[in-house]
Structure 1
Amino acid sequence: MRIFGMILAMALAMPVAAAPTGAGELTGTLKKIKDSNRIVLGVRDGGPPFSYIDNDQKYVGYTIDICDKIIDAIKKEINAPTLQVEMNPVTSSTRIPLMTNGTIDLECGSTTNNPERQKQVTFTNAHFVTTSRFASKKAQNINKIDDLKGKTVVSVAGSTNLVQINKVNSERKLGLTIQAAKDTVEAFLLLETDRAAAFVMDDVQLSILIALSKDPAAYTISEDAFALPEPYGIMLRRNDEPFKAVVDRATADLYRSPEIAAIYKKWFESPVPPKGINYRFPMPAELRRAFEHPTDSPDPASYKS
């Protein structure tokens, strides 16, 4: 009788010990995705080459390609090979609210990961690093920040770049005339028409604007930077560690592999659809280092090469 009781006890215990991780044990975003068999990406309509709509009305871009790799990892994690992917357009003002209220699951664009945003959302490992620099005409022979002394410079109203210019101007006593344009198009027009000697902005945005200009060969971007590099990250909901662990693992694996170099080259150093423009933006040393040592840190000092 005693032996029978022991066998019965072992039999009852075995299913519990051997049970695989199933959908019933999922929580948070993983459970939401599994239950609906759908993942929703927050994407940009017009943010090339990170996220935009091509001539076939399909969302494409550098960050979209990275998110595709994350989706592959999620499919395996929750055993959902037929997982449906939905694209939900977002803007600068809607991306965080749509993440926190559960509308989108991943935000696949060019959002800066900083301490202020970390109070509302979280980010996976950085997929881009950008630095505030200036664009000028090659004919002006302006190579360093100190060469700007006494000249007129422009940036965009309300941008961190404008704050950085004022700070450097005060610290170095450059005597700059600083103009605030309403947007990047207006700012570049001031540079193009010689009403400003330099345009200060994120270097990747400067590179894109130059590539789209009438005479890309006429411009150059400074090596000197106004601040430390800042990371772009794919945004997630806060306090969802199981989901973040899957995404972090997927991005870290991708970034440490040769595949990320091919994805980067495709979007920043090759002709990009639909117009076939090459943005000619080589991978920054800070980004190369971030790929070698994946990190989700919002601290710019973490990305200094």
Structure 2
Amino acid sequence: MKHSTVAAHAACAALALLALAAGPASADTLKKIEETGRFALGYRESSIPFSYVATAGKPVGFGQDIAQAVVQEVRRRTAARAIDVEYVAVTSANRIPLLQNGTIDLECGSTTNNTARSKEVAFALNYFYSGTRLLVKKSSGIGNYSDLAGKTVASTSGTTNAQVLRRYNQEKQLGMQILLAKDHADAMLLVQTDRAAAFAMDDILLYGLIPGARQPSDWQVVGDTLQVEPYACMLRKDDPAFKALVDGVIASMMRSGEFERLYRKWFVSPIPPRGINLNVPMSPQLRDNLSQPSDKPEV
């Protein structure tokens, strides 16, 4: 099996522009894969532990393991057994247009399933629940959103967190200056270099960034949870056959216990590259979703 990784940010930006110009791709993903022999998986470079680059080579993570299970089922269902799996780096800003124009066929990372996005793409069964909180330096003295009045706060471009933060800032009249970064690692760098006082993002992603810091003990996640949101694999709209396949794979993993095994692997066990354990137990919302799988979006 051949694996190739597309990681250049400039290339992804160009692809996103082409996506907007080209318009939606055909919504028959299985036929497309069978005819081309190519299955393109979108991945995030720093969405730990869902989809990230730990060392040189292909991405790893909870979402990537689920995507690989989908690849195996696609191989079983189609005549294209020798599928070339191509890994395409995506960002919060370009992941939807790259899916729409066929550059990628599936993205299993840290994408929130919500009603606004469901007008443009489809989502498989939810596989995680998270909420917006704050990553700060322990020395900052910041404990909640009220401490950020008049300060600069970082978030990531193209995320629901940026929208939630902007709305909260307006409602509470905090006068925060919101600075949007290209990706999560870049947003954390803004706080590290004191260009922002805090990084607002899904709490699980913030916990995932701390182990990669130069001094992990200098950082903490604080603040109330502004909004609970489900994560789900993202695919093209109006493709019921492919959605049924992806949903079937995830539901089967939830029934068999494989989903919980993968959860333990990525959330309560040492993970690459530093072998640090995030120690994030399964939430009640996700536990409920295992017994009654749902693709219901955040409203």
TM-score normalised according to structure 2 size: 0.73
Question: How is 1:87-98 mapped onto 2 (pairs within 5 angstroms)?
Answer: 87-92=86-91, 93-98=93-98
Amino acid at match of 1:156: S
Q: Does 2:29 correspond to 1:29?
A: yes
Aligned position for 2:112: 112
1:255 is paired with a residue whose SS is helix
Q: Is the 8 A contact 2:50 2:64 kept in 1?
A: yes
2:242 is paired with a residue whose SS is helix
The 2-side partners of 1:198 and 1:231 are apart by: 23
Call closer, same or farther: CA 1:37–1:167 in 2, change over 3 Å. Answer: closer
Aligned position for 2:257: 258
Amino acid at match of 1:133: R
Aligned position for 2:201: 201
2:270 is paired with a residue whose SS is coil
Q: Deviations over 1:60-89 (max 9, x none)?
A: 221110011122222333365x34242231
Q: Unaligned regions of 5+ residues in structure 2, if any?
A: 1-26
Aligned position for 1:156: 155
Question: How is 1:260-299 mapped onto 2 (pairs within 5 angstroms)?
Answer: 260-299=259-298
Aligned position for 1:76: 76
Q: CA deviation at 1:257?
A: 3.4
Amino acid at match of 2:43: V
Aligned position for 1:180: 178
2:133 is paired with a residue whose SS is strand
The 2-side partners of 1:53 and 1:169 are apart by: 33
Q: Is the 8 A contact 1:212 1:277 kept in 2?
A: no
Q: CA deviation at 1:223?
A: 6.4
Q: CA deviation at 1:125?
A: 0.7
Call closer, same or farther: CA 1:54–1:211 in 2, change over 3 Å. Answer: closer
Q: Is the 8 A contact 2:154 2:190 kept in 1?
A: no
Call closer, same or farther: CA 1:85–1:277 in 2, change over 3 Å. Answer: farther
If each structure's strand is expressed as a fraction of its own residues, which one has the higher value? 2
Amino acid at match of 1:71: V
The 2-side partners of 1:196 and 1:52 are apart by: 24
The 2-side partners of 1:157 and 1:86 are apart by: 28
Q: Is the 8 A contact 1:136 1:197 kept in 2?
A: yes
1:275 is paired with a residue whose SS is coil
TM-score normalised according to structure 1 size: 0.72
Q: Is the 8 A contact 2:42 2:88 kept in 1?
A: yes
Question: How is 1:134-149 mapped onto 2 (pairs within 5 angstroms)?
Answer: 134-136=134-136, 148=147
1:126 is paired with a residue whose SS is strand
Q: Deviations over 1:104-128 (max 9, x none)?
A: 3222322222222222221111222
Q: Unaligned regions of 5+ residues in structure 1, if any?
A: 1-26, 301-305
Aligned position for 1:15: none
Call closer, same or farther: CA 1:169–1:117 in 2, change over 3 Å. Answer: closer
Call closer, same or farther: CA 1:127–1:172 in 2, change over 3 Å. Answer: same
Q: Is the 8 A contact 2:148 2:197 kept in 1?
A: no
Aligned length: 269
Aligned position for 2:65: 65
Q: CA deviation at 1:292?
A: 3.0
Q: Does 2:198 correspond to 1:226?
A: no
Aligned position for 1:44: 44
Q: Is the 8 A contact 2:107 2:235 kept in 1?
A: yes
The 2-side partners of 1:203 and 1:39 are apart by: 31
What fraction of aligned residue pairs are identical, expressed as a percent?
39
The 1-side partners of 2:44 and 2:213 are apart by: 22
Amino acid at match of 2:294: T
Q: Deviations over 1:134-156 (max 9, x none)?
A: 2445677866656x486857233
Call closer, same or farther: CA 1:141–1:287 in 2, change over 3 Å. Answer: farther
1:287 is paired with a residue whose SS is helix
Q: Deviations over 1:147-204 (max 9, x none)?
A: x48685723375644553454456557xx45243343557646766888775432212
